[in-house]
Amino acid sequence: MKFRPTALLPLAACVATLLTAPCPARAAEDLNVPPKGFTALFNGKDLNGWHGMPHFDPRTLAAMSEEERTKQIAAWTEDAKKHWSVQGDDIVNDGHGAYLTTDKDYGDFELLIDYKTVPKADSGIYLRGTPQVQIWDSTPEGPSSTIGGLKGSGGLFNNSNDAPGRDPLVVADKPFGEWNHFRIILVGARITVYLNDKLVVDHAQMENFWDRALPLFARGPIQLQTHGGEIRWRNIFLREIPAAEANKILSEHGDKGFTAIFDGKTLEGWAGTVNSYEVVDGAIRCRPHKGGVLFHKDELSDFAARVQFRLPPGGNNGLAIRYPGTNENDNAAYAGMCELQVLDDSADMYAKLDPRQYHGSVYGIVPATRGYLRPVGEWNFQEVTVKGPKIKVELNGNVIVDADVSKVTEYMANSAHPGKDRTSGHFGFAGHNEPVEFREIDIKPLKD
């Protein structure tokens, strides 16, 4: 996969013509002033910071030459000028034209936004250039009443049928003529949506509409959709979520029932090459120039594991899955069910690896989607689910592996993996001489 989702477009650099409008008199209310910690994406005066872009695959735009891309964005922006304006404290669209799109790309964020629309119109909010948090006419008379409109706004209508989050949990729309308020929290592909202070999407995976085999893009613009009727927007505020907060959100949501297997102080309950590891500042760290497998004493069959890890430059380690624990010299990647690679993908020394060696990969067996590691030196959050022969790896809120290893017949370097079909074993770390750190290590046994 040549496309790297971490940097879709240098939009701020290539937008030649920005949308502008005359500055009208401000309303009496103190609108479009961001809460503490937030930035206003709409300044309340004009559309500086925005450009036009319709429903269009960001990868296609990114593949253009800089000259072609600049020309295309300028043409979309000219079209948007005909349909978008600032009236009082509101951004107003007449129901047509290219979508209003931020010049800047965003990763993890909390977005606050108010909207008001009219009967028989629908709209939505594209996140990272991807559709969308849906806005419906939720009345029985609405044109979308037979395809989901009656279920209310705020859902991920472009998710697969029956996927969590596609339909909102409750109908929370206000009557026409009143302002609605969204609060949207996006961490990785995990999204939580509140509409008018009611939870309508709860920590669901937002699918990549452009290619459902890939996770949601790591970064991208926010777009305000237009679709057939007037819609007004105001109070558009965004707060970028730092890594530590993102990890906290991921660790506190979703499935319950996880139990800590590391006390943050000692290696009690762990076995294997214990002398090759140390506990430093609440984390298990592989000693420099040491290695081998450190594994937890409890044997597991099907399970989910959550762990935070931090990579030094060039860091290399792995998660041992269903490791036998009978021989200190066993290689986790071959004697166990597998090793899930933990690797600094950005290091020059690893630029030409087999795809099945990069971070998150089922080592030598199944490649992971790249581009979702945090910068070297920051803590990452990873959740691994092992059920029978199936393995799912979710990195920083993005599913980067979802595979059935029993169906794999071709291996890196044609090297067999005799432990691949193991049904039980230990969870641990497969050190490779680098001081990679692990903390907040939780396990949840799974039952049928």
pLDDT per residue over 365-407, tens digit each?
999 999 999 999 999 999 999 999 999 999 999 999 999 999 9
Q: What is the pLDDT of residue 17?
A: 38
**Parts of the chain with a pLDDT under 70:** 1-29
Q: What is the pLDDT of residue 199?
A: 98
Encode pLDDT of 69-85 as tens digits. 999 999 999 999 999 99
Q: What is the pLDDT of residue 29?
A: 58
What would the two tokens of residue 190 be?
Answer: 């995990």
Q: What is the pLDDT of residue 26?
A: 33
Q: What is the pLDDT of residue 144?
A: 86
Contact 214, 206 (CB under 8 A): no
DSSP of 315-346: -EEEEEEEE--S-TT--HHHHSSEEEEEE-TT
Q: What is the pLDDT of residue 329?
A: 82
CATH code of the region 11-241: 2.60.120.560
The residue written with tokens 């304006």 in the block is 85
- Distance, CA of 10 to CA of 149 (rounded, Å): 35
Helix (H) or strand (E) holding 248: helix 243-252
- Distance, CA of 22 to CA of 98 (rounded, Å): 20
Domain with CATH 2.60.120.560 in the chain: 11-241, 257-445
Architecture per CATH, domain 257-445, reads as Sandwich (2.60)
The whole-model pTM stands at: 0.92
What would the two tokens of residue 112 be?
Answer: 């606050």
| 295 secondary structure, DSSP code | E
Residue 220's nearest CA partner among 245, 194, 253, 186 is 186
What would the two tokens of residue 153 be?
Answer: 């706004």
- Distance, CA of 282 to CA of 210 (rounded, Å): 41
